[in-house]
């Protein structure tokens, strides 16, 4: 059987086939991510599908397909990532707030997905050309920092 395991400060993640099992250590992270999925399930199609949740166990089961990007892949698709973040905000009012290469997944069909929404916040400020450029610059700076740290 094909599975992997990640233990972070905020949660434990088991990945098996197309399913992600997230057990949260922090209640606030669990409720933030659960509420995001419940609020956005019919608004956008570039997030994993929430299959099951348990408030008692602080567990989410998500269905996703594909693999997380590495640093170089992430840097090469920065405009696509920017559009995902922008569409996320325009369609739902949320900002992701966890800009990491491993939080972007490329599916077998070539579609990009965003994952890991425990730090997501609802923001009512629209992305305009002015502040959208600021967001794009932030993404570019992040890529440069990540790539320079990796190459040293």
- Domain with 83, as residue range(s), is 3-151
Helix (H) or strand (E) holding 4: strand 3-7
User: Apex CA 139: angle with CA 152 and CA 9, to 5°?
Assistant: 70
Q: Which residues pair with 16 in a beta bridge?
A: 3, 19
Q: Which pLDDT tens digit goes with each residue over 106-118?
A: 988 899 999 999 8
Domain count, the chain: 1
> For the domain that residue 12 is a member of, what is the CATH number?
1.10.510.10
Tens digits of per-residue pLDDT, 30-69?
999 999 999 998 999 999 999 999 999 999 999 988 888 9
SS3 state at 69: coil
| 40, two tokens | 């956005």
């Amino acid at each position: 059987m094909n599975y992997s395991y990640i233990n972070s400060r905020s949660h434990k993640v088991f990945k098996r086939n197309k399913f992600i099992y997230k057990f949260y250590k922090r209640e606030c992270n669990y409720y933030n991510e659960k509420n995001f999925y419940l609020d956005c399930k019919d608004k956008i199609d570039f997030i994993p599908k929430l299959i099951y949740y348990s408030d008692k166990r602080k567990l989410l089961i998500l269905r996703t397909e594909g693999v997380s990007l590495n640093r170089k892949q992430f840097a090469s698709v920065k405009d696509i990532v920017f559009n995902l973040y922008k569409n996320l905000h325009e369609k739902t009012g949320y900002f992701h707030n966890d800009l990491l290469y491993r939080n972007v997944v490329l599916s077998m069909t070539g579609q990009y997905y965003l994952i890991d929404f425990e730090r997501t916040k609802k923001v009512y400020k629209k992305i305009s050309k002015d502040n959208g450029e600021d967001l794009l610059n932030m993404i570019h700076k992040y890529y440069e920092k990540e790539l320079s740290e990796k190459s040293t």
